[in-house]
Amino acid sequence: MRSNILITGAAGYISEDQADSLSNLGVRVIQLDLTDEDTVVKSVLSHNISIVIHTASSINPTLALHLITALSKQGEVSGEKTYFIHTSGLGAFFENTGWPAGPFKDTDAVFNTEKELADSSPLRKTDVAVIEHAETRGVDCFVVVPSLVYGKGSGEWNKLSVVLPVYVKASISGRAVYKFPEDTKVSSVHISDLTALYGRIIENILQGEPLPTGREGYYFALAHYLHLGEVLDHLAIQLKARDLITDSKTKIYLNDEAAASSLGIPVPFVRPLWNSGDNIIAEIPHRIGWRPMWNKERFLQNIDDEIQAVVEHGKAKSSLIDSLFKFAAGQQGPS
């Protein structure tokens, strides 16, 4: 199968690695910034695009729906199947955003649960809209859910993830590492392993291998678990060794307001995004041959890499933090 692939959010952390990886597979990759639906449709048709990897936004369904519509039109013209790979967010599966307590596999009734709880999360609402629109338009859909992503990306623009670099930068600025009272457990994945999962899905598509799609097409990108308290304890030791903080012992945030001030994020997002745990279990990625190379031990042994990346690049070139402030302002209404 010969395919052109469109990667949205081309300047982003995840998507740049996808471009590098897919190019190594000998696949021609076309990257395009999203604008309006007409432009998307014309671009997909003119470039004969049959696969879209969508990393531009996990909370704006409009962008995804335009792309799916374009793929549907491409399928009508070519007579061949088209595929949409949507990147969701781990926040959809946190208990403190309304997700049910207890272990949850990507082979369980993820779609039905998301639909029942869609109104309480923009991530869940987008996932449901994407899957239902793809069903209506006859496009095969996959929902990849990255867990806590770490590691330095290989792209030319944004080399940093968001969560851990925010902790590192805040610690350096305040000359101390703070953590929450809870030692929250969170699923995690190195950027290279996440890239490999996208690549595995693409390879199976190109080889005509059957894959779970649609309502059964959730792919939890979980390589291993981390405990945030333990991570920050290790971070403090390494930062002190670099003389970037004054004490190798971690301190405890007094409250969410103090954490928000330190991390530079809106108060409503402190716990949902920086102190939330999950109980997801990945099965489908392993069934299709995904073999992560990073585990907890390797991460902790190389945690200084996270510091070095921030020292070199400052902070992630991402609009996420700005979008959080805009969302929080919208929720509060005009002042």
Estimate the crossing angle of helix 304-313 against helix 228-241, to 10 degrees: 70
**What integer pLDDT is reported at residue 110 of this predicted model?**
98
**What integer pLDDT is reported at residue 12 of this predicted model?**
54
CATH architecture of 4-327: 3-Layer(aba) Sandwich (3.40)
**What integer pLDDT is reported at residue 316 of this predicted model?**
52
What is this structure's pTM? 0.88
**What integer pLDDT is reported at residue 335 of this predicted model?**
26
**What integer pLDDT is reported at residue 285 of this predicted model?**
98
**What integer pLDDT is reported at residue 333 of this predicted model?**
36
Give the bridge partners for 178, in sequence order: 251
**What integer pLDDT is reported at residue 258 of this predicted model?**
95
Instruction: Name the H helices within 6-60.
Output: 13-24, 37-46
**What integer pLDDT is reported at residue 273 of this predicted model?**
75
**What integer pLDDT is reported at residue 334 of this predicted model?**
32
**What integer pLDDT is reported at residue 3 of this predicted model?**
72
120: Cβ contacts below 8 Å, ≥ 6 apart: 97, 98
Q: Name which of 279, 277, 278, 259 is nearest 268 in CA terms.
A: 259
Query: Is 289:200 a contact under the CB 8 Å cutoff?
Result: yes
**What integer pLDDT is reported at residue 157 of this predicted model?**
42
Amino acid at 264: G
Which parts of the chain have pLDDT scores under 50?
A: 156-157, 332-335
**What integer pLDDT is reported at residue 254 of this predicted model?**
95
